[in-house]
Amino acid sequence: MDPRGFRGKSANFWLCGFLFFAAVLGFCRRADVLVMTPWFAPIIWDGVFDSAILDAQFESTTIGLTVFAIKKYVVFLELFLQTAEKHFMVGHRVTYYVFTDRPADVPSVPLAEGRQVVVLEVRNYARWQDVSMHRMEMISNFSQERFLREVDYLVCVDVDMKFSDHVGVEILSPLFGTLHPGFYRAARNDFTYERRPRSQAYIPRDEGDFYYAGGFFGGSVVEVLQLTTACHQAMVVDQANGIEAVWHDESHLNRYLLYHKPTKVLSPEYLWDERMLQRPPFLRRLRYVAVPKNHAEIRH
């Protein structure tokens, strides 16, 4: 073979090799974590998305953030709203729906343009578990009454948390859940699903994809309406049967998301607890983290 031709082929070989590795580095920037579910839903980690592209795609989207501050939990609102202004959907239209029994105690926090707080006065319950569980009913009712008309997506979160890094439109999808930080690498058998068949939240030992956290889920308003309505109805049936799921609304959420697969799954970057867990090296960002609380003091 003519030596010039051979050199040409060899150069091509190395060029192809280089391009291949560049492509691998560029498109699979996270080889250290699971970036797709077995049903082809993306799992959202730092490095798998480009905010510039997504911000343009979601430019005309309005996002509703639901948060409950019932009884003493109103103390969490100020930091929650302040940090949301810094990190949550910056540059997009946002409505904070604050559900509370103490509207006079909702702090006024300066908001950027295109963002507003809507206070929704609701009843309280004596037990913290009932407060937590009835969020499903209240989100369902208000979705029908007004969220369907007012926003495109709903993001439903706990209030005893703060935003500490970017949480943007990369999370938006028809139906999304978040990997619970305590179980993202646990075996299916160790997930704390409801295991009693008498409960509507029951999940058999040989089923289950992930263990999702009760404190961060969402989707289009229609999907969230269906999810919250189904979970509420399941809790009504449980109550009539004298049984309460082991982790309350979170157990029902897990059952729902097992049989209605989420279209996106958020990594534990989106829900972390620095006091409970040691941060593993592949957790590059902590976007939404628990605020330390004295359980006995705040719940009673």
Ligand X SMILES: CC(=O)N[C@H]1[C@@H](OP(=O)(O)OP(=O)(O)OC[C@H]2O[C@@H](n3ccc(=O)[nH]c3=O)[C@H](O)[C@@H]2O)O[C@H](CO)[C@H](O)[C@@H]1O
- The binder of ligand X chosen from 46, 85, 158, 209 (CB under 6 A): 158
71: left (phi over 0), alpha (psi -120 to 50) or beta: left
Q: How far is the CB of 244 from ligand X (least distance, A)?
A: 10
How many other CB atoms are found less than 10 A from the CB of residue 41?
A: 18
Q: Choosing among ligand X, Mn ion, none, which partner's interface includes residue 70 (Cβ < 5 to 8 Å by kind)?
A: ligand X
- The answer on whether 180 is annotated among ligand-binding residues is yes
Q: Which one-letter DSSP state was computed for residue 49?
A: -
- For position 250 contacting Mn ion by CB under 5 A, the verdict is no
- For position 122 contacting ligand X by CB under 6 A, the verdict is no
158 or 250: CB nearest Mn ion: 158
Q: How far is the CB of 258 from ligand X (least distance, A)?
A: 16
Burial 223-257 (b: 16+ CB within 10 A, else e): bbbbbbbbbbebbeebeeeebbbebbbbbbbbbbb
Q: Which one-letter DSSP state was computed for residue 48?
A: S
- For position 249 contacting Mn ion by CB under 5 A, the verdict is no
**List 137, 223, 244, 250, catalytic entry:** 250
Q: How far is the CB of 139 from ligand X (least distance, A)?
A: 12
- For residue 158, give the nearest of 213, 100, 109, 216 by alpha carbon: 216
Question: How far is it, in rounded angstroms, from Cα 94 to Cα 37?
Answer: 29
The contact pattern for ligand X, residues 70-99, with x = CB under 6 A and - = no contact, is: xx-x--------------------------
Is 85 part of the annotated catalytic residue set? no
Residues marked active site are found at: 250
User: Which residues in this chain contact Mn ion in the complex, by CB under 5 A?
Assistant: 158, 160
